C-alpha cells in the first residue's frame, strides 16, 4: 500500500500519466489539452509526452469523438476529453450509434477501447448550458460502461480501470470537486460494478454517487449525532452497478433513500428504487432526492433551489425513521 494525499484532479492525472508510460497506445485528444485542460487535469502531460500523444483538437466535439473512434478501431486506446458533459452532446451520434455498438455490430471482431471524459454537474453560476448531470442517459445505452467517481481515490483507481477496459467508458467527473483532496492508495484496483460503503449503519440506507455521495457521507455524520445510524453506499459506477450491495443493505435497514444531483424525472435513482422494490419488503416507502425538472439558473439563489443538500438527505432519513410502515 502506497498512500499519497492529492486532489481529485491530480489523482486522475497521475492515473493517465502512469497508463501512458506503460502503454504507448494510450493517448489523449481534446480541446485545450496543450494548456493543461480547463481544470488543469492534463497540466504538464504535454511536456512529458509531446503533442502527438497529448493532442489539441479543433472545436468540434463530433470530429473529436469520430476521429478517436477510428483510432480505437485500429488498435490505439484514446482518452477523449469532451471538456464539459454539456458540450459532449454535440458528439452524441458518434458515441451512441457508433462507439457503443462497435463490438456488437462487428461480431466481436473489432472494439472501441475508449475513455470519454465528461465533466458533469453544477458549477457555481454556470447556468443551464453548463450544469447538467446526464449520467442516466448513458446508463440507458447498451455497450457503454458508466463511471461517476466521487473521491480522489476513485478518480485514480477507476481511471486506471477505464483505460484498461476494452469497452468504451463514459467517465463523468464532477466539475465542483477538482480541488477535493484525499488519500490515494496507488496500489488499489478499480472495479466496475463494485460499490463502496462510505458509512455502515442499521437504520437507513442512503445510496448516491458523484459529488452527492460526499454530501450523503456528511449527512450520515449529522444523522449519527441525532442517534440515527445511516449506511451510505457510493455506487461509483452506474453501469454495471452493485445491485447486490444495495439490496443486502436495504434488507438490513428496511429503509432506502437515493440521492443524486440530476433531475429526478428519469434519473438513475428510479432504477435503484425499482430494482430494490422488486426484491425487498421495506419498512417504509423509499425516497428519491434529486433536482426538479427545471433548467439551472445563473443566479446563485435560484441555483441553490435545485441542489440536493446534506440537510435534505438528513431530514429525509429522520422522516423515514418517524414514518409508519408502508
Q: Which residues contact 274 (CB under 8 A, 6 or more apart)?
A: none
Report the distance separating Cα 93 and Cα 91, nearest Å. 6
260 is catalytic: no
d(C-alpha 285, C-alpha 282), whole Å: 7
Q: How far is 195 from 32, CA to CA, in rounded Å?
A: 33
The answer to whether 192 and 145 are in contact (CB under 8 A) is: yes
67's grid cell: 476521429
- Tell the residue number behind the cell numbers 471538456, with chain if given: 83
Q: 3-class DSSP state for residue 116?
A: strand
CA distances 14 to 210, 284, 313, Å, are 20, 44, 33
Residue 98 to residue 88: CA distance in whole angstroms: 15
Q: Provide the CA 220 distance to its chain's centre, in angstroms.
A: 21
Instruction: Please check whether residue 127 is in contact with residue 296, taking contact to mean a CB–CB distance below 8 angstroms.
Output: yes
Of 269, 275, 265, 235, whose CA–CA distance to 148 is shortest?
235
Cα separation, 196 vs 207, in Å, equals: 10
User: So which residues are the catalytic ones?
Assistant: 130
Amino acid at each position: 500500500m502506497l498512500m499519497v494525499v492529492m486532489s481529485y484532479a491530480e489523482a486522475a492525472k497521475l492515473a493517465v500519466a502512469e497508463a501512458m508510460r506503460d502503454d504507448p497506445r494510450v493517448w489523449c485528444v481534446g480541446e485545450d489539452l496543450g494548456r493543461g485542460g480547463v481544470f488543469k487535469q492534463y497540466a504538464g502531460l504535454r511536456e512529458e509526452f509531446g503533442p502527438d500523444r497529448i493532442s489539441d483538437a479543433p472545436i468540434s466535439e463530433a470530429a473529436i469523438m469520430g476521429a478517436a473512434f477510428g483510432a480505437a478501431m485500429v488498435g490505439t486506446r484514446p482518452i477523449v476529453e469532451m471538456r464539459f458533459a454539456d458540450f459532449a452532446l454535440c458528439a452524441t451520434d458518434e458515441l451512441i450509434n457508433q462507439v457503443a455498438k462497435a463490438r456488437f455490430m462487428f461480431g466481436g471482431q473489432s472494439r472501441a477501447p475508449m475513455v470519454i471524459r465528461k465533466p458533469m454537474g453544477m458549477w457555481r453560476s454556470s447556468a443551464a448550458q453548463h450544469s447538467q448531470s446526464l449520467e442516466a442517459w448513458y446508463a440507458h445505452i447498451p455497450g457503454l460502461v458508466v463511471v461517476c467517481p466521487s473521491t480522489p481515490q476513485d478518480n485514480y483507481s477507476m481511471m486506471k480501470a477505464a483505460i484498461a477496459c476494452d469497452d468504451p467508458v463514459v467517465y463523468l467527473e464532477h466539475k465542483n470537486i477538482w480541488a477535493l483532496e484525499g488519500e490515494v492508495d496507488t496500489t488499489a484496483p478499480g472495479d466496475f460494478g463494485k460499490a463502496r460503503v462510505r458509512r455502515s449503519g442499521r437504520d437507513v440506507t442512503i445510496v448516491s454517487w458523484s459529488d452527492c455521495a460526499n454530501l450523503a457521507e456528511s449527512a450520515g455524520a449529522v444523522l449519527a449525532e441525532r442517534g440515527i445510524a445511516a449506511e451510505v453506499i457510493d455506487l461509483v459506477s452506474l453501469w454495471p452497478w452493485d445491485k447486490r450491495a444495495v439490496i443486502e443493505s436495504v434488507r438490513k435497514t428496511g429503509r432506502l433513500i437515493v440521492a443524486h444531483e440530476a433531475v429526478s424525472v428519469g434519473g438513475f435513482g428510479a432504477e435503484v428504487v425499482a430494482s430494490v422494490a422488486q426484491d425487498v419488503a421495506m419498512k417504509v416507502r423509499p425516497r428519491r432526492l434529486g433536482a426538479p425538472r427545471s433548467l439551472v439558473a445563473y443566479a446563485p439563489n435560484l441555483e441553490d433551489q435545485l441542489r440536493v443538500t446534506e440537510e435534505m438527505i438528513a431530514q429525509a432519513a429522520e422522516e423515514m425513521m418517524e414514518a409508519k410502515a408502508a
